Amino acid sequence: MTLRHMKIFVSVCREKSITLAAKKLYISQPAVSTAVKELESFYDTPLFDRISKKLYLTEAGKTVYQYAIHINSLFEELESSLKSSEAIGQLKIGSSITIGTHFMPNYVREFSERFPNIQTYVTIDSSDVIEKLVLDNELDFALIEGIVHSENIISKDFIKDELIVICDLNNPLIKKANVSVDDLSNQRFLMREKNSGTRELAESILSLHNISLTPLWESSSAEAIIQGVSKGIGISILPLQLVQDYIDTNQVARLNVNGLKFNRQYHIIYHKNKFLTPTALEFMKLCNII
C-alpha cells in the first residue's frame, strides 16, 4: 500500500466513480481500477459494493476513507512546507451560523493580531453541513452549537449559551402575569432551518412538554426571523446573544415562560484522526479565553 493508493482511493470516494476519478487525477481508468483492487487485496476485504454500475462504500471502505483523507492531508502539508520555507501558514475553520455571526469576527481579529502570518479561512453554515466538512477534512476544526452526530468527531465544550423565546411588542402574552408552556401551543412559530443546532435544541425541549413544532417560517437567516417576529407574524426561539440588541432597541420582546429553559454548550469539534497544528491549538485556546 502506498500514498498513491490512498490518493486514488479518496478521489474515487469523492467522485463516486472510477471514470470520474481517473479524469480528476489525469490517469487511465484501468490504473484507478487496479489501485482499488490492490487496496482491497491488501486489506483482504471489499471496500466498495458495486450495484447497478454504481459504487457504494462498505463499512470497511468507510473506515479506510476516514483515515485516508487525513493521511493525504498530512503529506500535502509536508510537501507545501518543504517547497517554500516562506510559505504562509493557514487555518481552515468552520462555524455554525450563530457563532459565525456573533463570535467568529472577534476570534479571527484577535487571532490575526497575535499571528499575522497565518491566513484564516472561515466557512459559516448550519451545524450539519459544518460537521460533514469536518468529516471530509475540508476543515481543520469547527465551532458549532449543535450536537455531534458522528462517532468519528471529537467534541469539546468551550462556552455556554442560552436560547430565549421572543415575540412582537403587541403580543397579548406580554401582559400575562404567568406565561405557561401551554400558552405557546397556540402560537405561530418562526424557526431556524431543520438540522440547525438552535432548531434541534428548541424541538427537543418543547417535545418534553408535548409541544410539536410546525413552523410557519423556516429560515437560515436569524435576521429574517427577527424581522418577521417584530411584525407580529409569530414568535421564535433564538440565541440571546443574537437578539439582545433587538430587545434593547424595543424591536422585539423577551417572553419569560415558566418552567422553560434552553441552556446549552457551544462545541469545538474536529476529526478524531486530525493532526492539530500548534496554530490550530492556539486558536482553540483563544476561544476559551475571549
CATH number at 102 reads: 3.40.190.10
**Same domain, residue pair 60 and 203:** no
**Same domain, residue pair 253 and 275:** no
Tell me how far the alpha carbon of residue 272 is from its chain's centroid: 15
**Same domain, residue pair 31 and 171:** no
- Domain of 226 in residue numbering reads as 161-262
β partners of residue 141 = 93
Q: Are 126 and 100 in contact (CB under 8 A)?
A: no
Mind listing the pLDDT tens digit for each residue in 105-153?
999 999 999 988 888 999 999 888 999 999 988 999 999 987 888 999 9
Say if strands 141-144 and 262-271 run parallel, antiparallel, or are unpaired. antiparallel
**Same domain, residue pair 215 and 284:** no
**Same domain, residue pair 206 and 257:** yes
Inform me whether the pLDDT recorded for 290 exceeds 70: no
Total of domains in the chain:
3
**Same domain, residue pair 74 and 19:** yes
Of 50, 83, 116, at which residue does a domain stop?
Answer: 83
Averaged pLDDT for residues 225-242: 94
Of 62, 83, 104, at which residue does a domain stop?
Answer: 83
How many Å apart are CA 251 and CA 254, to the nearest integer? 10
Inform me whether the pLDDT recorded for 227 exceeds 90: yes
The overall pTM is greater than 0.85: no
- Give the Cβ contact number of residue 230 at 10 Å: 17
Helices (H), the chain: 3-15, 18-25, 29-43, 59-83, 97-102, 104-114, 127-135, 197-208, 222-230, 240-248, 278-289
**Same domain, residue pair 79 and 20:** yes
**Same domain, residue pair 245 and 104:** no
Rg (CA), the chain: 23
Which 3 state secondary structure label does DSSP give 115? coil
